[in-house]
Amino acid sequence: MKNFRTVSDIRIERGGAAKLDAHIDGLCANKRVFIVTDAGVHALGLLDGAKAALRGAGYRVEIFDQVVADPPEAVVLRGAGWARDFKAGLVLGFGGGSPMDTAKVIALLAGSDQPITEMYGVGLAMGPRLPLMLIPTTAGTGSEVTNVAILTTGETEKQGIVANALYADRVLLDAKLTTGLPKMTTAATGIDAMVHAIEAYTSLPQKNPLSDALALSALTKLRGAIEDVCKDGQDIEARENMLIGAMLAGQAFSNAPCAAVHALAYPLGGFFHVPHGLSNALVLTGVMDYNLPKADGLYGEIADHLRLGNSGAILIDEMQRIKHATGVPQTLSAVDIPDSAIAMMADDAMTKTRLLINNPRQMTLAATIKIYEDIA
Ligand SMILES: NC(=O)c1ccc[n+]([C@@H]2O[C@H](COP(=O)([O-])OP(=O)(O)OC[C@H]3O[C@@H](n4cnc5c(N)ncnc54)[C@H](O)[C@@H]3O)[C@@H](O)[C@H]2O)c1
Ligand SMILES: [Fe+2]
């Protein structure tokens, strides 16, 4: 049996955040909106239009801006307590993957009594949750349409909550929010989105006709726009294509989950706080080279769809070219990760069985170490 789920209410409007009162219609009965964001997004004034629209329409607005990258569990628990005290009627995640993931779990924790420790894993978070709306300000994670939230537990461990209760009630894509995204974040988050689509397309147990179609159309949009947005961040057309592409990729991997690229990327974020997209970009082509003997056909189908040719190796070359063209770092030393960390990171990557089981070729510890060594 093949299953497919996604968020049922998705809106695309340039400048839509400044009309948020209209876009949250029907979602917040008590008119108390709890906005979850990070200090960077808040300081940039990206919330100003949304806040003004809500307050102008008589909503009470509380802003929790303590989210940090790779959100720690402790921050999520603090936000959930705050949302409860505020008697939030709607949780609005506004930002990149970090604020959106945090908002998802806050909505769960504030809406039910299940302890967070019982939520990690697949299908264990039960809900109910508070009404949830998500507005991405990066074009990368696709978290706005996924049933996944990734938190940092303890000092370094990244753990996922995967549950249908995490699908948001509504999503708004507003490309105007993304025009100021710095070039490196644009490149890294854009490559993250491309990885989601590639890994969904090769996600052997659960790939299905819907995830395949979404992954291919995501890659068409993302490949067409990623270099344009890196050259000219104000190119609103390309920015919107990136947002839509990242969302399509999110819909794909939410149903056909990610695999070894993400498994090998997580320790870079967990131990060394390398941004998620950069971590993926670093290990991407090494994992694809390793996968090639088993994934040649599927990579070739993607290459063919992108009119590059029809061999898997061509897709790997194209991703390498995009990494160079967008200027993302190419080595672990460029992101201050010493060779001495490789063994520890490899051991950690091998624990990501939730992801590794989806890889087209069985990943081994020896191969993981070699992939890290090749980019040291
Ligand atoms: N839930 C999922 O399905 C899913 C999928 C992939 C990744 N993730 C998680 O998402 C997180 C990464 O998210 P991300 O890559 O979007 O980065 P992020 O949310 O951590 O944000 C990165 C930086 O970009 C800044 N920023 C965000 N929007 C901006 C804008 N419009 N203009 C200028 N600056 C802006 C933020 O302030 C922050 O400093 C990781 O924790 C990762 O594990 C989740
Ligand atoms: Fe990702």
Same fold? 10-177, 180-374: no
Q: Compute CA distances 108 → 127, 251, 259, whole Å.
A: 6, 21, 26
For the CA of 178, the closest atom of ligand 1 is 31
Is pLDDT at 1 greater than 90 in this prediction?
no
Cα-Cα-Cα-Cα torsion 194, 197, 202, 204, nearest 10 degrees, comes to: 140
Read off the pLDDT band of 157 (50, 70, 90). Answer: confident
pLDDT digits (tens, 9 = 90+) for 84-127: 999 999 999 999 999 999 999 999 999 999 999 999 999 999 98
Q: How far is the CA of 95 from the centre of ligand 1 (A)?
A: 7
Is 36:82 a contact under the CB 8 Å cutoff?
no
Looking at the CA of 200, name the nearest ligand: 2
The confidence band for 2, taking pLDDT boundaries of 50, 70 and 90, is confident
Q: How far apart are CA 305 and CA 207, in angstroms?
A: 17
Nearest residue by C-alpha to atom 37 in ligand 1: 40
Q: Would you call 192 helix, strand, or coil by DSSP?
A: helix
Q: In DSSP terms, which residues pair with 35 in a beta bridge?
A: 63, 92
Residue with the nearest Cα to atom 30 of ligand 1?
181
CA of residue 197 to ligand 2 center, whole Å: 10
The mean pLDDT value for 265-280 works out to 94
Ligand 1 pocket, Cβ-based, cut-off 6 angstroms: 38, 40-41, 44, 46, 69-70, 95-99, 101, 137-138, 140-143, 146, 148-150, 177-178, 180-181, 185, 189, 276-277
Tens digit of pLDDT for each residue in 37-88?
Answer: 999 999 999 999 999 999 999 999 999 999 999 899 999 999 999 999 999 9
Its CATH class, for the domain covering 10-177, is: alpha beta
Amino acid at 165: A
pTM over 0.95: yes
Ligand 2 center to 247 CA (angstroms): 12
**The pLDDT value given to residue 154:** 82
Number of the ligand closest to the Cα of 138: 1
The answer to whether 62 and 34 are in contact (CB under 8 A) is yes
pLDDT of residue 156: 77
Say whether 79 sits in a helix, a strand or coil.
Answer: helix
Edge-to-edge strand list for the sheet holding 148-153: 121-122, 157-162, 148-153
Token pair, residue 65, equals 């801006």
| CA-to-CA dists, residue 299 to 279, 284, 294, 352, 361, angstroms | 21, 13, 10, 23, 13
Of 3.40.50.10300, 1.10.540.10, 1.20.1090.10, 3.40.50.300, the CATH number of 180-374 is: 1.20.1090.10
Sequence-ordered list of residues with C-beta below 8 angstroms from that of 80, at least 6 positions apart, any chain: 105, 106, 109, 110
Rounded to whole angstroms, the Cα distance separating 86 from 82 reads 6
State the distance from the centre of ligand 2 to the C-alpha of 30, rounded, in angstroms. Answer: 34
pLDDT digits (tens, 9 = 90+) for 158-198: 889 999 999 999 999 999 999 999 999 999 999 999 999 99
Q: How far is the CA of 96 from the centre of ligand 1 (A)?
A: 3
Q: How confident is the model at residue 228 (pLDDT cuts 50, 70, 90)?
A: very high
Residues 268, 192 contacting (CB under 8 angstroms): no
HSE-CB at 227 with a 13 A cutoff on CA atoms is 10
Pocket test for ligand 1, best of 48, 143, 157, 266 (most atoms within 8 A of CB): 143
Q: How confident is the model at residue 320 (pLDDT cuts 50, 70, 90)?
A: very high
Alpha helices in the chain (DSSP H): 20-23, 39-43, 48-56, 73-86, 97-111, 183-201, 209-231, 236-255, 260-272, 276-305, 312-326, 342-350, 353-356, 365-374
Region of 277 please: left (phi>0), alpha (psi -120 to 50) or beta.
Answer: alpha
Which residues are bridge partners to 135 per DSSP?
A: 94
Name the residue at shortest CA distance from atom 10 of ligand 1: 97
| Residue 360 CA to its chain's centroid (Å) | 21
Nearest ligand 1 atom to alpha carbon 71: 41
Tell me which of 42, 98, 132, 284 to substitute to probe ligand 1's pocket, judged by most ligand atoms within 8 Å of the beta carbon: 98
Q: In the predicted model, what is the mean pLDDT of the chain?
A: 97
Q: Buried b / exposed e across 30-42, counting CB within 10 Å, b at 16+?
A: eebbbbbbbebbb
CA distances from 174 to 18, 167, 253, 268, 300 (A): 9, 19, 22, 30, 33
Contacts from 232-241 at CB under 8 Å and sequence distance 24+?
A: 233/179, 233/180, 233/181, 233/182, 233/183, 233/186, 234/179, 236/14, 236/175, 236/176, 236/179, 239/139, 239/175, 239/178, 239/179, 240/12, 240/14, 240/173, 240/175
In the chain, where are the structural domains located?
10-177, 180-374
Strand pairing report for 170-173 and 10-12: parallel
Q: What is the pLDDT of residues 24-34, one digit of tens each?
A: 999 999 999 99
- What is the predicted pLDDT for the residue at 371? 98
Nearest residue (by CA) to ligand 1, atom 12, is 97
Query: Ligand 1, from 94, 134, 185: best to mutate by most atoms within 8 Å of Cβ?
Result: 185
Average pLDDT of the segment spanning 349-355? 94
What is the pLDDT at residue 365? 98
Q: Is the pLDDT of residue 155 over 90?
A: no
